[in-house]
Structure 1
Amino acid sequence: MTFQRIRFFFGLVKAGKLRCRSQFAATFLPNYRCLYKTAWLSACTAQPTERNVILMGPPGAGKTTVGRLLGKRLHMPVIDIDDHVLENAWLMPVAKKLSQVGGDRFLEEEGEAVCNFHASGSVISLTGSNPLHTAAMQHLKKNGLVVYLDVDTDDIIQRLARMKVNRIVGQEAGTPMEDILMYRKQFYERWFDTKVLCGVEDDAEEVTEKVVASLRRYQDSDSETFVSTRSSVSGLGDKSEDEPKFFSDVVVEGLAPDGGLYVPKGGFPKLSPKQWQRLAKMPYCDRACAILEQCIHPTDVSPLDLRRMVQRAYGANFSSEAIAPVRHLERNQYVLELFHGPTASFKDLALQLMPQLFAHCLPQMCNYLVLVATSGDTGSAVLSGFGGLDEAARSRVGVLVFFPEHGVSQIQKLQMTSIGKGNNARAVSVLSDFDFCQRSIKTMFGDAAMTGHLAVEYAAVLSTANSINWARLLPQVVYHASAYLDLLRDGVLGQFGDPVDVCIPTGNFGNAMSALYAKDMGVPIRRVICASNLNCVVADFVRTGRYDLRGRTLMTSHSPAIDILKSSNLERFLHRASGGDGDLVRHLFTSLEEQQHFQVSPELLQKVNQDVQAAWCSEEDCLATIREVQSRTGYIMDTHTAVAKSVADRLQEEDSSTVPLVICSTAHYGKFAPAVLTALGEHGESVPADPQEQLQRFSSTGAVPEMHGALFQCLKESRSQPHRVCQADFHVLTEEVEATIQGSFLNVQ
C-alpha cells in the first residue's frame, strides 16, 4: 500500500467516513499481514504429495524411527539420508567412509551428496551432521519443511551409549559428548521451520504424535487468532470489527477497537509433564524460547528471530545470571526475585522483550506513538526497553509516559525523567492519580477525531505498552513457570505435579493474570493470592463479587505501584472465569465505566474463588513485615513484596498446608528507600533527602540481597531533571501527545 493510499484512507477517517481504531486495524493491518504471510508461507503451501517433511536433530534423536512412523501416518514414502542417499552414493557404509576421509572431508562429501539428491512428497530423515553444511540445507529447504526433534541431552547420551556410539562427526578426541551436542545446537536452531520439544524419555510414538501436531499447527496459521474480551458470544456484533486478529496485529494495536483487551481465541497451549521436566534442566532464556514458541505462531515471529530477541532481552543487562532467581526465605516460603533487570522492577522481564516484538510486527508505512500510564515502575521500564531498539526502529516509534506527580517515589521519578528526556521518549507528570492517567489513555484510543487527526497529519498511530497490550503480558508467564521449574530442579518439589501457591502484590492484575495463564499451560499452581494495600478494591471484589468504586478515593501508600482502583486486567480474568463470555464482560465493564460498580453472580464468584484468593494489609503491617523479616532472616524486601508477605502470612495461619509458597518480589528495596529505611528503624529526620545517600545507607550494612548496581549507577549519573507537569485535564494530555509526535516524526513526509 503506497503512502498516497494511506493518506487517502486517513482522509476518510478525518472526514468521519471510517472509524480509525476499528477500521484501520481491521482493514489496513490485516491486509499488510496477509501480504507478509503470503510471502513467508509461499514455500509451505504445496500439497503434502509435493512437499517433503524433513526430520532434523542430533544423533540418537530417533529421526529414523520417527520417520518410519510418520511416513505411515501421512501415507508418504520414507527416505533415510544415511541408508538411501549416502551409502548409495559412496557404495560403502557411512562409518567406513568417515574412517577413510576424516571429519572435515566427510562433512564436505556428505553435503555434496545431499546437494545432488532430489525428492518430493517424502519424509526425509537427516543425519545428525547434515545441518552443518549450509549448501545442503539450503537445497533441502527449497522443497522441504524442516522439523527439529529437540531431544533432551541426557536421553541422547543414554541412547548413544546403548548403540555403543562413543564419538560422532566433528568430535575431537577428549571432547565430552555434551560439548559437541551443545556446539551442534546452534546449527539445528538455524535451520528449523518448526520445533518439537520432546519430553524427558519420550518414546518414538509420543514424538511422532508431537510431530503431527506441530505440522498441523505450522500449516494452519489462521487457527491462532485473538478476540476481544468484549466480543459478542452470539456473533451478532459489528462485522467491521470481526476480522481475524493475529499476534502481530494485537501487539501493534494494543487495545481492541471495542475497548476490550485481546486474548487468544483458542486459549493457551498446554505442555505435557515430560516437557515441563525437560524445561527444568534449562536456563531461563531457553525456557523462555520454548514457552513463547508455543504461544507465538512462526508466521508472526519466526523461532530464529524470537530466540535472538530473547537472548538480547535477558543478557548482561540483568544483574543475576539466573534472570529471575528463587531464594528460600523461611519455612515453606520462597521469594521470586523479579528485580534484577536494568530498572530494578519486575516490569523489565516483559519490557526488555516487548519493544522488540513490537518493532518486529510494525507495518513499514506508519509511525507509532506508544502511550503509557504508570504508577511508577512501568514508566522507566518502558523507556529503557524502547530505548534499546536499533536506530531504525526508534525513528518510527515514539514513547510518551504519563505518571502521577505525587504518586511515585522520588527514585522512580528520577529514573523516568532521566531516561525519558529525548524528542521521541518523554515522561510527563500529571497532577492526578494513576487511574486518571490510564483512563485518559483509553479515552484517546476511542476518540476517532483525535486518532484520525494524528493519522492524517503525521501518519502516526497510537499504541500502548501497558499490560493491556498482549505482548506486555505474555513474557510474564515465563517467570511464573520458571519459578516452579527452579523448585522442581532444586528438589523442593518431589515430582512434577506437586502444587505451589503464588502470592503477588496486585494492582492492575497483570502479574496475577500471567500466573493464571502459566497454570493454563500446565504449571501446577494451586492458588494465586492477590495482595492489596489499603487500596483494596481487588481484595474486596474477590471476597464479595462486588467491584465498587463509588465513594472510594485512591490513597497514596508506601507501595505506590499497586495504588490502583481500576484494575485493567481484571477484565481478562473475568473473561477466563466466565468461559469467554464477552457479552457478560462488556456488560460488567460498561456498568463500571458508567455507574462505577458491578456485581457478578454467585456462580461466577465461585469460579473466581477456585483459582484466586485475596487480602490486604495496612501501612503499619507493611513496614512491620519489612522490619521483622530482616530481623529474622537478614533479608530486606521492598514495600510491595512486604505487602505480599504480610498477606501470605495471614492466609497461611488459616491454612495448615505445607505447600510451597512463592512470593513475587516485584521491585528492589532501593527504589523505595525512605520507607524501607524507616521500617528498619531510622527516624524520618535521619533518612537522607538525597536518593544516592539513601542507597549508600544500605550498601554500608551488607544488605541481602545486595544493592542493585544499575539502580545505584543511574542515580549516581543523574540529577533532578526538569520535566513537564500537567494539570489533570484530558485536553492538556492530548496536546502533550501531539507535541511528542511532532518532536518525533515532524520530518516524516
Structure 2
Amino acid sequence: MGPPGAGKTTVGRIVAHRLGLPVVDIDDDVLETTWKMSVASKLDAVGGKRFLEEEGQVLCNFSASGCVVSLTGSNPLHPEAMKHVKQSGMVIYLDVDSEDILQRLHRMKVDRLVGREAGQSIRDILRHRKQFYERWLDVRVFCGRNDTVEDVAEKVLQAVERYHNHAAETYVSTRSDSKGASGETTHFSDVVVEGLASDGGLYVPKNGFPKMGTNEWLRLVDMSYQEQALVLLEKCIHPLDVSALDLRQMIYKAYGSNFSCEDVAPVKHLVHNMYIQELFHGPTSSFKDLALQLMPHLFAYCLPPMCNYLILVATSGDTGSAVLSGFSGLRGADRRRTGVLVFFPEEGVSEIQKLQMTSFNESNAKAVSVRSDFDFCQRSIKRMFGESGLTGHLAVEYGTVLSTANSINWARLLPQVVYHSTAYLNLCRDGVINFGEPVDVCIPTGNFGNAMSAVYAKQMGIPIREVICASNHNCVVSDFIKTGEYDLRKRRLIPSHSPAIDILKSSNLERFIYHVSDSDSRLVKDLFTHLDTQQHFRLPDLLLSRIQQEMQAGWCSEADCLAAIQSIHTQTGYIMDTHTAVAKVVADRLQDATCPVVICSTVHYGKFAPAVLRALQVENIPQSPLEQLEKLQRTASIPGMHRDMMKCVKEGDRRGHVVCEADYSVLVEEVENVIQDSFLKVM
C-alpha cells in the first residue's frame, strides 16, 4: 500500500519473487479484468467519486491467500475494502519521500490522480492521503530519500520478518540475561507495566537499538516533532505490542496543544558554537513532560485486565508534577484503575515545584513530602518493589499491583531518545551542520536517564561525538566518570540551586555500565550489589577507558552557576534556569569548540525564581511565588514566562499537604492509604 509512484507494483514483484509467491497487481490483474477496460478509461467514464466507490467494491469481492498483493494508490480511501483486506492479510505501507514520488510521477508523465480537484496540486493530494495510509497499516516501511526499489523491497522483507518474529524482540534485566523463573520472554508491554525487573535490575532491549541509515534520517529533517517521534518509536516498539495506529493516536495526543511551543522541543542559538534545546514547553515546564505526556498512554494500553495499578514515584522535583499531569490525562476505565503516589523531599524542591505537585488533589493522585532527601525516597520505593510480602499483600487484599514512572521504567526513558534525535535534525534543518557532522550534547544530570537516552540516540545513528554530564556540587556522577570509582561513603547530599540533580545514587548508570561492558550482566549485578551493601564500587580500568571515550563530566559551584545566568542574560537577554546554567559552565570548561554543542535546558527558569532573581542581581526579592514570577516576567524577554506554570501558581491549592518522617514503615502506610482511597477493596 502507498501513494501513486511509491513503487508498489515493482516492489511487490521483487518481494513475491524473493518469497517464492505469486503476485497480484490490483490495477492490472483485478480492476481492468473486471471492468474490461483500462483504469484511466474507467476514471474518464465515471469520474473520481464514482470511481472510488466502484474500485472499492471490486476489492471487497476479491479474495486471495498465499500471495503478494499490490493495492492501488486510492484503495485505502475506501473503508469497507480495507477492512476486508486486513481480515486476510498483513498491510504494509510504503512510506516514500514525497520528492521521490513527484520525480517519478513527472518521469511517467502522470498529471492526474483520483480525487484531485481543480487547482489542487499533486503534493496536496499526497499530503491528504497520508492519513488514510496510516489508518490501515500494520507495518510502515520507512523509505529513505533516493532509496532504490531493491532497497525498499529488502526493507519490506525485513519488516515482514520482524512482524512475524515478535518473540525475538524481548527485554532483559541489566542483572540477568536469562529468562525469568517461569521461562517466559519479556516484551515491551511487560516492561512498561512492571517497571523494575524482579531481580532489581533495569530492563533493556536484548538486541539493542535499531540503526537507521543516513537517507532515513534525512527524510526526518523537515518533519514535525510528532511525525519524527512516530517513525522513531515505531522502530523501537513492536507493532504487536502497540499497533501503529494506536501509537500514532497516543503521540499526537501527547504532543499537541498541551505544549506551549509548536516545535515541542525547539533548538535555539545561544552564543558561539552553543545551542540550547528548550525542553520546558510542556504543561509542567520541565523535560519530564516529553516522556510523561506519552508514557501514561503506553502504560494504560499495556495493562492486563482485572488489576488496579499504583504508580509509585520518587522525585527531586520535576518528575512528580509531570507524572501527576500525565496520568491525569487518562480517561474512563484506564483512569479508574490507575493511581499515582509521589514522594518528594520536603526541603529538597523549590516552592513552585512543591505547589505544582500538591495542586493535584484527586483521590487517586497524591503527592507526599518526606523529611529526607531524594535518595531515601527512591531507596524506599525500590525496597517496596523487592518485598514479596508487601506486594503480595497489596495484590491479594486490594487487587493492586505496584509499578513506577521514574526513569527506571523503560517507557519513561524511550521517548527521551526522540528529542535528542530531533535536536540534531533541527541543526541540520537550520543549516548549522550537514548530516554526519558531529555534535556534543551537554546534560545536567543526576539520575542519568537523560544522559542515557542521548547514548541510545547515538546508537540509532545520530552522530553525537560526546555526551557531557554536568553536575552541581553533588558530583558523584562527575567523579565516577573521571575516576571509575562510585563512592557514597562519607558523602552526604548538599542542597543546591539545581535540586533536580541533587542525587547521589544514580539509577540509570546501571544501564550505561551494561552498555559499555558489552552486556556483562554478571559484572553489573556484582557492582550494584556491592554499592547496595558497601556504598562503593570501582570499575576495571578497561571499562573506565571505554566510558571516557564516549562521555565527559564536570561539576559547577553554586557561585559559578549564578554567574553564568547573569552573564548570558547580559550578553543575549536570554534567561537560563539553574540546571541549564550548570550545563553551560561545564560545557565551557570541557567542550573544545571544534563542533557545535547542544545544551539540554531541562526546566523553565520560573521554577527556580528566587535563585534566578538573585543571579540577575534583582533587589528586594518577594516571598510570594506569584510575585516572584511577575517580577521575572518584567525582567525577562526570552524565553517568555511559562503559561501553565503561571496559571498553576495563580490558582494553586494552598491547603497544604501530607509530610512524612523519614521512616520506611510510614511510607508503606501512605501507599496503603492511597490504594484504599483509589480503589474498591477486594473482599
Question: TM > 0.5 between the two?
Answer: yes
Aligned to 1:439: 379
Does the alignment pair 1:90 with 2:35? yes
Could you tell me which residue of structure 2 aligns to residue 135 of structure 1? Answer: 80
CA distance in 1, matches of 2:289, 2:85: 40
- Taking every aligned residue pair, what percent have the same amino acid on both sides? 66
Match of 1:688 among 611, 622, 631: 622
- Offset from partner CA, 1:603-652 (integer Å, 9 cap, x none): 00011111111000100000000000000111000000000000001113
Q: 1:325-474 to 2 correspondence within 5 Å?
A: 325-419=266-360, 421-474=361-414
SS at match of 1:432: coil
Q: What is the CA-CA distance between 1:92 and the residue it aligns to?
A: 1.1
Letter in 2 for 1:728: A
Once residues 450 and 84 of structure 1 are traced to their aligned partners in structure 2, the CA distance between those partners, rounded to angstroms, is 64
Give how far 1:119 is off: 1.7
Could you say which residue in structure 2 is the equivalent of 1:256? Answer: 197
**Aligned residue for 1:672?**
608
- Structure 2 SS opposite 1:568: coil
Give the deviation of 1:703 after TM superposition.
Answer: 2.0
User: Quick one: distance in 1 between partners of 2:307 and 2:90?
Assistant: 33
Checking the alignment, whether the CA contact within 8 Å between 1:418 and 1:721 is kept in structure 2 is no
Secondary structure of residue in 2 paired with 1:534: coil
Confirm whether residue 513 of structure 1 aligns to residue 449 of structure 2.
Answer: no
Preserved CA contact (<8 Å) 1:528 1:613: yes
Give the match for residue 229 of structure 2.
288
Partner of 2:644: 710
The yes-or-no answer on 1:538 pairing with 2:472 is no
Contact 2:469/2:478 (CA < 8 Å) preserved in 1?
A: yes
TM-fit CA distance, 1:162: 1.2
- CA deviations over 1:418-458 (Å, ceiling 9, x no partner): 02x12111100000000000000000000111111111110
Matched, 1:562 2:507: no
**Structure 2 CA distance for partners of 1:185 and 1:748, relative to 1, 3 Å:** farther
Residue 747 of structure 1: CA displacement? Answer: 4.9
The 1:608–1:143 alpha-carbon spacing in structure 2 relative to 1, beyond 3 Å, is same
Is 1:725 aligned to residue 665 of structure 2?
no
Give the letter aligned to residue 700 of structure 1: R
Q: Is the 8 A contact 2:285 2:645 kept in 1?
A: yes
State the secondary structure of the residue aligned to 2:635: coil
The residue type paired with residue 739 of structure 1 is: N
Match of 1:600 among 524, 539, 550: 539
Q: Deviations over 1:76-124 (max 9, x none)?
A: 1111111111111111111111011100000111112112222221111
The residue type equivalent to 1:365 in the other structure is M
Q: Is residue 241–residue 257 contact of structure 1 (8 Å, CA) maintained in 2?
A: no
| 2:115 is aligned with 1:167 | no
> Displacement, 1:242?
4.8
**Contact map agreement 1:374 1:403 (CA 8 A) in 2:** yes
Measured at CA, do residues 67 and 563 of structure 1 come closer, stay the same or move farther in structure 2, by a change above 3 Å?
same
CA offsets 1:254-291 (integer angstroms, 9 cap, x no match): 00000000000010011111111011121000000000
Query: Deviation digits for residues 27-62 of structure 1, max 9, x if unmatched?
Result: xxxxxxxxxxxxxxxxxxxxxxxxxxxxx0000000
Over aligned residues, Cα RMSD in angstroms? Answer: 1.0
**Corresponding residue to 1:71 among 4, 11, 16:** 16
Distance 1:141 1:507 in 2: 47
Contact 2:317–2:344 (8 Å) recurs in 1:
yes
Instruction: Tell me the alpha carbon deviations over residues 349-371 of structure 1, each in whole angstroms, 9 at most, x when there is no partner.
Output: 00000001000000111101100
Q: Could you tell which deviates more after superposition, 133-142 or 300-309?
A: 133-142
Aligned partner (choices 21, 34, 48) of residue 103 of structure 1: 48
Opposite residue 154 of structure 1, the aligned amino acid is: E
Counterparts of 2:431 and 2:621, CA distance in 1: 42
**Which of the numbers 553, 560, 564 marks the counterpart of 1:621?**
560
Aligned amino acid, residue 115 of structure 1 = C
Deviations 1:209-236 (A, max 9, x none): 100000000000001100000005xx5x
Distance 1:563 1:255 in 2: 22
Whether contact under 8 Å (2:398, 2:681) holds in the other structure is: no
Match of 2:57 among 97, 103, 112: 112
Q: Of residues 206, 210, 219 in structure 1, which corresponds to 2:155? A: 210
1:700 corresponding residue in structure 2? 634
Using the size of structure 1 for normalisation, the TM-score is 0.90
Deviation at 1:720, TM superposition (A): 2.5
Matches within 5 A, 1:198-347: 198-231=143-176, 240=181, 242-347=183-288
State the SS of the aligned residue for 1:70. helix
Q: Deviations over 1:325-361 (max 9, x none)?
A: 0001111110000000000000000000000100000
Distance 2:18 2:655 in 1: 66
C-alpha separation in 1, matches of 2:662 and 2:29: 74
SS in 1 for 2:197: coil
| Structure 1 CA distance for aligned equivalents of residues 565 and 465 of structure 2 | 26
Task: In structure 2, give the amino acid aligned to 1:659.
Answer: C
Cα offset for 1:702?
4.4
CA distance in 2: counterparts of 1:717 and 1:406, whole angstroms: 23
SS in 2 for 1:240: coil
State the Cα distance separating 1:698 from its structure 2 match: 1.9
User: SS of the counterpart of 1:463?
Assistant: strand
Determine the C-alpha separation between the residues in 1 that align with 2:390 and 2:80: 53
Q: Give the Å deviation of 1:184.
A: 0.8
Cα distance, 1:480 vs. partner? 0.3
Pick one of 583, 589, 604 that aligns with 1:650: 589
Q: CA deviation at 1:748?
A: 5.1
Kept in 1, the 8 Å contact 2:92–2:141? The answer is yes
Question: Distance between the aligned counterparts of 2:155 and 2:613, measured in 1?
Answer: 54
Cα 1:327/1:241, change in 2 over 3 Å: farther
Report what 1:17 is aligned to: none
Aligned residues: 683
Change (3 A) 1:461 1:719: closer
Q: Secondary structure at the match of 1:76?
A: coil
Maintained 8 Å contact 2:573/2:636: no
Matching residue of 1:633 = 572
Cα pair 1:414 1:721 within 8 Å, conserved: no
SS of equivalent to 2:91: strand
Paired with 1:125 and 1:595, the residues of 2 have a C-alpha distance of 63
Partner SS state of residue 324, structure 1: coil
Question: Residues of 2 paired with 1:285 and 1:239: CA distance?
Answer: 36
Q: Give distance in 1, aligned partners of 2:2 and 2:180.
A: 46
Shift of 1:239: 5.3
**CA 1:242 to 1:600, structure 2 compared with 1: closer, same or farther past 3 Å?**
farther
Q: Deviations over 1:277-315 (max 9, x none)?
A: 011121000000000000111111100000000000000
- Where structure 2 has 5 or more consecutive residues not aligned to the other structure, the ranges are none
Give the deviation of 1:690 after TM superposition.
0.6
- What SS does structure 2 have at the residue aligned with 1:642? helix
CA contact (8 A) 2:552 2:590 kept: no
Q: How far did 1:128 drift? A: 0.3
Distance 1:94 1:365 in 2: 52
Partners of 1:173 and 1:158 lie apart in 2 by: 21
Gaps of 5+ in 1: 1-55
Moved more, 78-87 or 726-735: 78-87
What residue in structure 1 maps to residue 136 of structure 2?
A: 191
Q: Which amino acid aligns with 1:744?
A: S
Q: Distance in 2 between the 1:239 and 1:372 partners?
A: 25
Q: Report the 3-state secondary structure (helix = DSSP H, G, I; strand = E; otherwise coil) of the residue aligned with 1:145.
A: coil
Quote how far apart the aligned CAs of 1:241 are.
6.0
Give the alignment partner of residue 433 of structure 2, picking from 493, 502, 516: 493
